[in-house]
């Protein structure tokens, strides 16, 4: 059972298609904490295609809406395209990376208190993430879906969206399915109409319940020359005009 926690935060300066210590507590809160892969990649049955007896919804809940709910105006879908589709975004190793090693002058600091242990994270933005979020928010309704605990993820999301205009809703670990030691994301929690929903996530296991809605991206740790988010923009610009995103995403070969 995940211990209760309280939080404070301080801010310093392509896909291919055709336990009780501070460190263990930190790892329990943020899946990608200080590692090259998310906790969703834990060993076990990673071929989840349904909801067997070992799948457990931790807690059914609606995603937390943003204050001033709404999506900023943009180009939309053009005539006859209807409402915006939903682009669901993972957090750790997709948009940011957090570690226990850093400095006040380099990373955004998040302190989470777990069982009286203060866990300090230094959070770093993936290259071009601000520009990426600005562009895709013009095309899609954006939702964050992370397997991290809200106590850690909330201040990080606030940091990414300081104007509170980018993200429509936030979903945390409580909205995931826990199966054989891994956290799976069921996109029907966000919208039962999966023709209009896609998930960008560095862990294919995360979208194994909805494989035809997943968009893979390489994990990011610290490469300052990474351009994966920029490389995705032309594809995402085109995908929003499809009637059913699965007709394109199901062609993925890796």
Active site residues: 90, 92
**Do 213 and 89 contact (CB within 8 A), yes or no?**
no
Tell me the C-alpha to C-alpha distance, in Å, between residue 176 and each of 152, 192, 219: 16, 15, 20
Residue 66 contacts residue 169 (beta carbons within 8 Å) = yes
Euclidean distance between CA atoms 229 and 112, whole angstroms: 28
Q: Residue 131: how many CA atoms within 13 Å on its side-chain side? A: 10
Give me the sheet containing 96-99, strands edge to edge.
5-10, 108-114, 117-125, 96-99
């Amino acid at each position: 059972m995940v211990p209760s926690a309280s939080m404070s935060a301080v801010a310093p300066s392509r896909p291919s298609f055709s336990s009780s210590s501070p460190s263990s507590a930190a790892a329990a809160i943020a899946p990608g904490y200080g590692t090259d892969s998310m906790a969703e990649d834990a060993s076990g049955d990673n071929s989840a295609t349904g909801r067997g007896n070992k799948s457990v919804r931790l807690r059914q809940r609606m995603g937390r809406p943003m204050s001033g709910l709404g999506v900023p105006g943009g180009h939309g879908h053009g005539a006859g395209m209807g409402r915006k589709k939903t682009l669901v975004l993972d957090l750790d190793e997709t948009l940011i990376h957090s570690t226990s090693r850093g400095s006040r002058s380099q990373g955004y600091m998040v302190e989470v208190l777990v069982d009286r242990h203060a866990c300090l994270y230094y959070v770093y933005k993936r290259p071009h993430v601000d520009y990426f979020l600005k562009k895709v928010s013009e095309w899609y309704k954006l939702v964050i879906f992370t397997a991290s605990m809200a106590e850690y993820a909330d201040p990080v999301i606030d940091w990414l969206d300081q104007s509170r205009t980018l993200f429509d809703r936030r979903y945390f670990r409580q909205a995931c399915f826990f199966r054989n030691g891994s956290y799976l994301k069921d996109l029907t929690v966000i919208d039962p109409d999966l023709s209009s929903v896609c998930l960008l996530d560095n862990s294919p296991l995360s979208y194994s319940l909805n494989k035809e809605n997943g968009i893979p991206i390489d994990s990011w740790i610290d490469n300052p020359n990474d351009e994966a988010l920029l490389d995705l923009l032309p594809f995402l610009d085109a995908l929003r005009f499809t009637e059913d995103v699965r007709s394109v995403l199901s062609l993925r070969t890796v």
